[in-house]
Structure 1
Amino acid sequence: MERIILDVDSAGDDILAVLFAAISPSMKLEGVTTCTGAAGPIDQVTNVVLNTLALAGKGDVPVAKGAWRPIVGNSKEDMQAPVHFEKRLVARFGDRLKKFNPPAPTPTLKVIDKHAVDFIIDTALANPGEITLVVTGPMTNAAMAFLQEPALAKALKRMVLLGGNFITPGNITPLSEYNIWADPEAARVVLNQGVDTILVPLDVCEDNRAAASMLTRDDLADLKDAGDHPVLQMLQDSFPIYIDIWREFFDLVGFPMDDIITVALAFDPTLCTMTEPLFCDIVLDGRVARGQTVAYRGRQLLPGGGPKTTRICTDIDGRRFMKLFKETIVRYQTAKA
């Protein structure tokens, strides 16, 4: 059984990732750490996680609040781009947007009395070689943990990181994907640690070449008759708008399951085809290129490079992944019974 810490920024697929990790028989969710990102301020991010775990009946999973801002970040106007994106959708989807990233109500569960960075460090050092760190949002917490504790890199078993793009155009600039762009300094720190790493780029998530891995209304229909557990009811109520936005606004066949794919790779790396281990670096300069993920694949004349420990996902067995997701989520009804 894979033991993971899941670090999230609580966008829509993060919710599914938390639910998936909490019920999967193939992993033990040691804790969830939160970071400011696409869903908004750190309190919103954290409350979404607490409410999601309460809905799932998993109140025993520790939740640690983390970074409220990136290490450096971009301009204030640019950092608010996800918020402005939601405003642009109002004219198109109207009241239906009430189901899209709504303000989280005050949770009944509480965070633990420990910062996310300290939770990551303490858990990994207490269990050397056993903890996989899965990061599905900006990498701020992970970077600060590495900077604070030099022994962390050798203590972790592996990292699985969601971020970057190599073939598929970026979703912030043509060259940059959101998680990396939101805190490129943090991503550079993390990718330079020499830890065995799987990197999950947009190429295998938010591209119609990976259509079979996307959530569609057909998939919701498959789950509709699975039972009346609150988790299954929430999926039916909340995720049609996510599917429609990504179909109508982003021209994808369904809602991309980036975060859940990243979690699943922690215990089944065979879901994706990957490169051999290589070095990945992050562009920090400029505006269009800032946050670009660069893979060292050849022999360059200028000096540079770093640890060749990152395997980049290049393809996904989407049908097998979606089958795994649905079989895992319906376990909530079995657990209820």
Structure 2
Amino acid sequence: MTIPLIIDTDTAQDDAIALLFGLLDPAADLRAITIVAGNVGFEQQVANALLTVAAAGRSDERLVHRGCVRPMMREWTSAEGVHGDGIGGLVGPEDAVNGRVGEVSDEHAVDALIRLCAEAPGEVTVVAIGPLTNIATAVVKDRSFPATVKSLVIMGGSNNGRGNTTPSAEFNFYADPEAARIVFEAGFDDVLVLPWEPVTVRDGILTRTEYESITSTGAPLQAFFRAACDKTLEVCEAVGLAGSTHPDSMTVAAVLHEDLMRRTGRYRVEIETASALTLGHSVMAWPKFGLAANARVIEEVDHGRYLDLLGDLLATPGLPTLEEISNNASRGG
């Protein structure tokens, strides 16, 4: 039995690999890809998503929806210093505008989220791996939206640990803290969070040895993976991490393969929106404090199992080569 999914993403680097899990894993029934302002320029994100769909051999489907192009109340925050264009220069934003790497749906991402979940109430899992602007906007537009979602799975925040954008805040929550606060207060029946600290920096890092191992046979998706992730590997190593970080694909993989999650806990998650010092910080209160829990938080992931799943994904046969999809984009068809 497959799992109906919508992936809400700011497509760059590991977001693209997360999309590949949704597009190619036999457990996934991916119904839409919704784009939110985040990592890199908005149209670049759209192009990156379309190219990822093409790399998965599904470019005949109009899965990609443009969503909110800026945070709810703030200016856009870029992560281009970490990701570059997020796809290794394979495609430019003009290719998305001109339809050269696939077709974008005419339906806005927020409307798609509301419609698809309403059409199958209690069946669709929404996986949010970027800032939560689209999800919060759907909540504001249709207050019944949370009740129609089976599970909301979020990559974001830190479990009372360090951030990656400021000392206290992870990028997705920092980029739109008001949206994150709305989402955690919206009353979704089931919210699952994979945080940056400690899970990503302990379980979601590929060492250079692991990175080289899963990209060693020349399969088409291995080359795609390297194009998307090489820059981030270099940046991560330069700041003292043990390798490249992969929280987004680990999040989607955990939805599709629950055995990845070794341990979760119930927490009350709240987001700081006022303090300049701790803007976007996720306060996660454990049961000791007697507060009503509003989320499950992943506390440990099986790194070896994730590495095996990722290696199998990247070895998928019969897909377009990097040269073929790049040439198609260059020719406009």
Structure 2 unmatched ranges of 5 or more: 321-333
Alignment of 1:1-337 (within 5 A): 1-40=2-41, 42-59=42-59, 60-73=61-74, 76=75, 79-80=76-77, 82-83=79-80, 85=81, 99=88, 103-104=92-93, 106=95, 107-192=100-185, 193-207=187-201, 209-210=202-203, 213-214=205-206, 216-225=208-217, 227=219, 229=220, 231-248=221-238, 250-298=239-287, 308-331=293-316, 333-334=317-318
What CA distance in whole angstroms lies between the structure 2 residues aligned with 1:271 and 1:297?
A: 22
The CA deviation at 1:323 is 0.6
Q: Match of 2:58, SS?
A: coil
In 2, Cα distance between the equivalents of 1:205 and 1:105? 36
Distance 1:56 1:275, change over 3 A: closer
Could you say what the CA RMSD is over the residues aligned between the two structures, in angstroms?
A: 2.7
> In the alignment, which residue of structure 1 is the partner of 2:324?
none
State the Cα deviation string for residues 120-170 of structure 1 (Å, max 9, x = none): 000000011110000000000001111111221121110110100124411
SS at match of 1:280: strand
TM-score with structure 2 setting the length: 0.85
Structure 1 residues without counterparts, runs of 5 or longer: 91-96
Could you tell me whether the CA contact under 8 Å between 2:87 and 2:228 is conserved in 1? no
Distance 1:300 1:220 in 2: 45
Q: Partners in 1 of 2:228 and 2:111 — Cα distance?
A: 33
The structure-2 alpha-carbon separation of the partners of 1:33 and 1:215, relative to structure 1 and needing over 3 Å to count, comes to farther
Greater shift in the superposed pair: 139-148 or 235-244: 235-244
Deviation at 1:334, TM superposition (A): 4.7
Amino acid at match of 1:82: A
Q: Is the 8 A contact 1:54 1:108 kept in 2?
A: yes
Cα distance in 1 for partners of 2:87, 2:141 equals: 40
TM-score by length of 1: 0.84
Q: CA deviation at 1:31?
A: 0.9
1:277 is displaced (CA, Å) by 2.8
Deviations 1:5-64 (A, max 9, x none): 000001211111111211001111111000110122x21211111122122211215111
What's the CA shift for 1:194? 3.2
Asked if structure 2 preserves the Cα contact closer than 8 Å seen for 1:274 and 1:311, the reply is no
Structure 1 191/24 Cα, relative in aligned 2: closer, same or farther at 3 Å?
same
Deviation at 1:282, TM superposition (A): 0.7
SS in 2 for 1:99: coil
Identity %: 25
Greater CA deviation, 254-263 or 217-226?
A: 217-226
CA distance in 1, matches of 2:90, 2:244: 14
Amino acid at match of 2:145: L
SS at match of 2:230: helix
Amino acid corresponding to residue 128 of structure 2 in structure 1: V
Q: Distance in 2 between matches of 1:17 and 1:243?
A: 16
Q: Does the CA-based 8 Å contact 2:199-2:298 persist in structure 1?
A: no
Matched positions, count: 314
Counterpart amino acid of 1:258? Answer: P
Q: State the match for 1:93 in structure 2.
A: none
Please say if residues 160 and 284 of structure 2, whose CA atoms lie closer than 8 Å, have aligned partners that are also in contact. no
CA contact 1:2–1:28 (8 Å) conserved in 2: yes
In 2, the alpha carbon distance for the partners of 1:80 and 1:26 equals 34
Q: Which aligned runs of 4 or more in structure 1 are off by greater than 6 angstroms?
A: none
CA distance in 1, matches of 2:14, 2:163: 18
1:48 alignment partner AA = N
Shift of 1:81: 5.2
CA contact (8 A) 1:15 1:49 kept: yes
